[in-house]
């Protein structure tokens, strides 16, 4: 949880990269609907681009739920200032699965309202 919060709070893509696995695609959802899957490097590039254009005000994981021994879901609220100076809020949900000894992001969901 701390790694995920630190990655967004400090725009540190390297911390987020530690939560990905090179051979594990990341499924991207919007408002609970599947959109597409990305290779981890593509997801990290897309997220880095977002981080460059956004100034994080707050990023807090407010819920962690275990879905099974090797699966958990983290829900977060991200408040940021966009390039146009507007304060925006987006809710994110991350599914992490234990692959080997490490927790790995396998799904990401975004919504303007709570998921």
| Cα gap 111→115, rounded to integer Å | 7
Confidence of residue 112 (pLDDT cuts 50, 70, 90): confident
Contacts of 91 (CB under 8 A, 6+ apart): 75, 76, 77, 78, 110, 111, 112, 113, 114, 115
pLDDT tens digits along 38-95: 999 999 999 999 999 899 999 999 999 999 999 999 999 999 999 899 999 999 999 9
Strands of 1-115 (E only): list them: 26-30, 33-38, 55-68, 71-81, 87-99, 102-111
The first and second tokens of residue 85, run together, are 């100076």
Average pLDDT over every residue of 8-20:
96
pTM over 0.85: yes
């Amino acid at each position: 949880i701390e790694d995920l919060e630190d990655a967004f709070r400090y725009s540190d893509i390297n911390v987020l990269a530690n939560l990905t696995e090179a051979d594990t695609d990341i499924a991207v959802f919007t408002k609970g609907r599947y959109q597409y899957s990305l290779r981890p490097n593509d997801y990290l590039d897309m997220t880095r681009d977002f981080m460059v254009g956004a100034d994080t005000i707050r990023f807090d994981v407010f819920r962690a739920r275990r879905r099974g021994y090797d699966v958990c879901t983290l829900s977060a609220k991200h408040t940021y200032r966009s390039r146009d100076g507007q304060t925006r809020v987006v809710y994110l949900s991350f599914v992490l699965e234990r692959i080997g000894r490490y927790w790995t992001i396998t799904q990401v969901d975004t919504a303007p309202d709570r998921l």
